Structure 1
Amino acid sequence: MHSLPIFVHLDGRPVILIGEGEAADAKRRVLERAGAVVISEGTAALAVVALEDDAEAEAAVAALKARGILVNAVDRPALCDFTLPAIVDRDPVLIAIGTGGASAGLAKILRQRIEVLLPPTVGPLARALSAARAAIRARWPDAGQRRRALDAALAAGGMLDPVAGTHDVAAWLKSDVETGDRTMTICLTSPDPDDLTLKQARLLGEADRVYAAPDVPPVILARARADAVRMSGPPSSSPGPGLTLTIEMAAS
């Protein structure tokens, strides 16, 4: 990853915005939607510089960074400490799409595609899961079991499939859910991650640890959970709790 995506709570907190015009106005609207108090000068942890003139922008960025402030410089990715992503808002669910400043247009189009996929019920599902947090912890005291139960419920076709129309969290809590240890193997016929089947992509997203043959491309491993353990070679006889996934490439 070229940067770490994070969500920052800005409600009531100051953010410096330097600049005028269409670009500055767009940044102001986004910051105010997030609850920030937009100021032109003063003390803040974040700042946005939206100046047309290169020299003025560079000077403003340098002055802000000298004060220890993290800066977003509009249309100048090399000067940015952080970027502002395209946002899909299904309150309280937020999806941020960033390209590291490479192409705001691409991020916008990806946002539009995702908007079509996600129904408005995603937000209520998130609130229902939040309200059921204590009940979920009581049902599955072990953190690994909780995650695997949620993975199964939220998977395509699961009881809480996010793109389905309705979700009954109470019924899910009462249902029989398999959270045991599993070891599975997938054999890929293509090095292209776009050729993964839905099942293969789901298993990569759920696996606690991934064992990959030497010829498995890194772009395939990149589709695994960000915090999954990645190892080469075959798994041990007792790899650990949860889902252990072995990936092999089919002989050509």
Structure 2
Amino acid sequence: MGPLASLPVFFDLAAKRVVMAGGGPGAAWKAELLASAGAHVDLYVPAEEIDAEMAELLAVPPDSGVVVHHDRPWATDVFAGAAIAVGDTESLAEGQAFACAARAAGVPVNVVDKPAFCDFRFGTIVNRSPVVIGISTDGAAPILGQAIRRRIETLLPPALSHWAELAVKVRGAVMERLAPGPLRRAFWERFADSAFTTRPPDAVAEAAAGGFIDDLVRSPQAGGRVTLVGAGPGEAELLTLKAVRALQAADVILFDDLVSDQILELARREARRMLVGKRATRDSCRQEDINAMMVSFAKAGKHVVRLKSGDVSVFGRAGEELDELARENIPVAIVPGITAASALAASFGVSLTHRDRAQELRFVTGHSKRGGLPEDLDWTALANDRATTVFYMGGRMAARIAERLIHHGLPATTPVAVAANLSRDDETRAAGTLAELGDIVARIGVDRPILIGVGRVFTEQARAATSDPFPAETGQTALG
């Protein structure tokens, strides 16, 4: 572990005495916080120095803990028996005196907004008690700490506190009945999956937790399961929160060739990572081998994450995997991802279903099982001028796709948009007309993952490419 600016600790203050000095807003906030932790707060401040916030706090008893006002200044005799001391002083001299007196009595001290006189600091708090998260910037950037808190708040559902209470209830049974190591981890990982829901646990959830303990006792392999996870188009920030949680709970990750290193970096460090990607131009795992690996690891009690680029349900062969897992009675969950067509629309700044230009949206595979152009497509229907069609994996078939669409009546001037390595640092984009599609893809290069969009929603992009074939775009290569 690298150096720590300070040591994060969680201090039990229930029924413990805290000495506090000051009657201003800073003292009021700290007194309320300490009382929330169950402390007995002795507040030493003359009545005339109490402001409105502190007066309101004193007028309404806190839900936990207690705040007792002593109408006198603090003095050296008040520190005996205190767990900690907190002072909100106006001057540096008084702050120093307060700190020295507390330290002389062996009491850790915090002087509000005076770091030199602090033995500890108050961090920014995310409260899902009994889950409590403290955030510290070591006093350097409190606003940054608050921004981090807001980000974390969006990740943690309010119901998490109720799940944490249930965790306390079932912990004894887990410790007594499940051996340390994989079995306990299997239980808590499954429990954590349930905890990140919007619903508080009920009697059914509690019974399910007990039932899973029974299952693990009878069969240590009962914790085995598979999660099919969509990794999105490539950029790590486009992962869903649920996908990140699955990666961080995985024992084994079977990932596609197109999954980026940045996404894999988010996975649990101890997870075994195995590349099983399928690419047309190189040797790769057969689908049957991937299915067998998932089954084998899951039957060994592992949590297997099958990580696919884009969305698992769009040209990801998830159907075959689901069928195999069902035959083997292995629990499976699906975590959807952002499909490449959505990333294409975002990259070109268009709506795929512009109400004046497209009344249909279609996703079409650009090659068959044999590697050529699918022969069973309804090309007449695809040649609809009022639709947007996105071809996946169609780079090598681009010229033939254009030829078929034009042959079946789609105008050669229909706008097209092409992108390779969507949402990555080396993303390449191009736009033009259907007649130019083969040449556009050839310039981009067919050895990268390519997506082709066809339809009038790309009109402005095609027009811009015609007037400026090589527009400059920061961080990307654009080909017109």
Common fold, TM-score beyond 0.5?
A: yes
1:112-123 matches, cutoff 5 A: 112-123=150-161
Given the alignment, which residue of 7, 10, 30 partners 2:10?
7
Given the alignment, which residue of 268, 271, 276 partners 1:203?
268
The residue type paired with residue 46 of structure 1 is: I
Does the 8 A contact of 2:13 with 2:39 survive in 1? yes
User: In 2 relative to 1, CA 131–103 (structure 1 residues): closer, same or farther, beyond 3 Å?
Assistant: same
TM superposition shift of 1:28:
1.1
Given the alignment, which residue of 47, 52, 57 partners 2:95?
57
User: In 2 relative to 1, CA 202–171 (structure 1 residues): closer, same or farther, beyond 3 Å?
Assistant: farther
Give TM-score, length-normalised by structure 1. 0.66
The residue type paired with residue 171 of structure 1 is: A
TM superposition shift of 1:6:
1.7
User: In 2 relative to 1, CA 35–151 (structure 1 residues): closer, same or farther, beyond 3 Å?
Assistant: closer
1:137-189 CA-to-partner distances (Å, cap 9, x unmatched) read 3442x22234522453256xx4x35256466354352552149xx79899x98
Give TM-score, length-normalised by structure 2. 0.36
TM superposition shift of 1:26:
1.2
Residue aligned with 1:203, SS: coil
Report the counterpart of residue 42 of structure 1 in structure 2.
Answer: 79
Does the 8 A contact of 2:95 with 2:114 survive in 1? no
TM superposition shift of 1:120:
1.6
The residue type paired with residue 45 of structure 1 is: A
- Distance in 2 (CA, whole Å) between partners of 1:74 and 1:131 is 38
TM superposition shift of 1:109:
2.2
- Distance in 1 (CA, whole Å) between partners of 2:41 and 2:163 is 32
1:133-172 matches, cutoff 5 A: 133-140=171-178, 142-150=179-187, 152-153=189-190, 158=193, 160-163=194-197, 165=199, 168=205, 170-172=207-209
- Distance in 1 (CA, whole Å) between partners of 2:13 and 2:195 is 31
User: In 2 relative to 1, CA 146–16 (structure 1 residues): closer, same or farther, beyond 3 Å?
Assistant: farther
Residue aligned with 2:134, SS: strand
TM superposition shift of 1:106:
1.9
The residue type paired with residue 114 of structure 1 is: I
Does the 8 A contact of 2:85 with 2:110 survive in 1? yes
Given the alignment, which residue of 62, 82, 97 partners 2:120?
82
User: In 2 relative to 1, CA 165–202 (structure 1 residues): closer, same or farther, beyond 3 Å?
Assistant: farther
- Distance in 2 (CA, whole Å) between partners of 1:147 and 1:5 is 26
TM superposition shift of 1:85:
1.6
Post-superposition, which runs of at least 4 consecutive aligned residues in structure 1 deviate over 6 A? 182-186
- Distance in 1 (CA, whole Å) between partners of 2:155 and 2:128 is 12
Report the counterpart of residue 177 of structure 1 in structure 2.
Answer: 223
The residue type paired with residue 34 of structure 2 is: L
1:168-247 matches, cutoff 5 A: 168=205, 170-172=207-209, 173=212, 176-178=222-224, 196-197=262-263, 199-204=264-269, 207=270
TM superposition shift of 1:20:
2.5
- Distance in 2 (CA, whole Å) between partners of 1:183 and 1:104 is 39
Q: Which one has more relative contact order, counting CA pairs under 8 Å at least 6 apart?
A: 1
Does the 8 A contact of 1:77 with 1:102 survive in 2? no
User: In 2 relative to 1, CA 164–80 (structure 1 residues): closer, same or farther, beyond 3 Å?
Assistant: same
Q: CA RMSD in A?
A: 3.3
The residue type paired with residue 186 of structure 2 is: A
The residue type paired with residue 162 of structure 1 is: F
Given the alignment, which residue of 18, 21, 35 partners 2:21?
18
Segments of structure 1 that go 5 or more residues without pairing to the other structure are 191-195, 209-241, 243-252
TM superposition shift of 1:2:
2.1
- Distance in 1 (CA, whole Å) between partners of 2:200 and 2:33 is 30
- Distance in 1 (CA, whole Å) between partners of 2:206 and 2:183 is 14
TM superposition shift of 1:74:
1.2
- Distance in 2 (CA, whole Å) between partners of 1:119 and 1:19 is 36
TM superposition shift of 1:58:
1.2
Does the 8 A contact of 1:136 with 1:146 survive in 2? no
- Distance in 2 (CA, whole Å) between partners of 1:169 and 1:81 is 42
Q: Are 1:29 and 2:67 counterparts?
A: no
Q: Are 1:100 and 2:157 counterparts?
A: no
TM superposition shift of 1:48:
0.8
Instruction: State how many pairs are aligned.
Output: 197
Task: Give the fraction of aligned pairs with identical amino acids, expressed as a percent.
Answer: 34
Does the 8 A contact of 1:49 with 1:73 survive in 2? yes
Residue aligned with 1:51, SS: coil
The residue type paired with residue 181 of structure 2 is: G
Report the counterpart of residue 66 of structure 1 in structure 2.
Answer: 104
Does the 8 A contact of 1:129 with 1:169 survive in 2? no
Does the 8 A contact of 2:160 with 2:200 survive in 1? no
- Distance in 2 (CA, whole Å) between partners of 1:35 and 1:166 is 25
TM superposition shift of 1:15:
0.5
The residue type paired with residue 20 of structure 2 is: L
- Distance in 1 (CA, whole Å) between partners of 2:122 and 2:170 is 32
Residue aligned with 1:108, SS: helix
Report the counterpart of residue 124 of structure 1 in structure 2.
Answer: 162
1:101-120 CA-to-partner distances (Å, cap 9, x unmatched) read 22222222222222222112
- Distance in 1 (CA, whole Å) between partners of 2:20 and 2:160 is 32
The residue type paired with residue 165 of structure 2 is: R
Residue aligned with 2:265, SS: helix
